[in-house]
Amino acid sequence: MTFLCPSEALAEGASLGFEQDATRVFAVRRDGQVYVYKNRCPHRGVPLEWHPNQFLDPSASLIQCATHAALFLIETGECVAGPCAGQFLTALNCREDHQGIWITSEESEDDA
């Protein structure tokens, strides 16, 4: 397991970026649930954010690639608009406990 941050560091409707073992990842909290993905757009392999910790669209309802404006569902990482529609972000298994947010293994089994 790899520790990301204390729970209170990731507010509801917010996102945070991290570098773990030379891999860039980010976490999003939506409806109390935490989702963690590799910070890599499936279209060109570029990082998703323009500014640190800004991975969401203006409504904070979708993950947005700053380079191509592709939009991804927070819950699944599926691209629903943009040049990589139908592709997925690489999800990482995570859990949250009294200490904070953890990555629990490499990639999830639902990766496309």
Q: Contact 10/27 with Cβ under 8 angstroms?
A: yes
- In degrees, to the nearest 5, what angle opens at C-alpha 80 toward C-alphas 75 and 83? 130
Q: What is the pLDDT of residues 24-35, one digit of tens each?
A: 999 999 999 999
Helix ranges restricted to H, the chain? none
Please give the Cα distance from 81 to 10 (Å, whole number): 26
Give the pLDDT band (50/70/90) at residue 108.
very low
Q: Contact 80/89 with Cβ under 8 angstroms?
A: no
Q: Which residue type sits at 77?
A: G
In three-state secondary structure terms, 27 is strand
**CA gyration radius, the chain:** 13
Q: Contact 75/63 with Cβ under 8 angstroms?
A: no
What pLDDT sits at residue 106? 56
- Determine which of 10-14, 53-57, 106-110 has the lowest per-residue pLDDT on average: 106-110
Domains of the chain in sequence order: 2-107 (2.102.10.10)
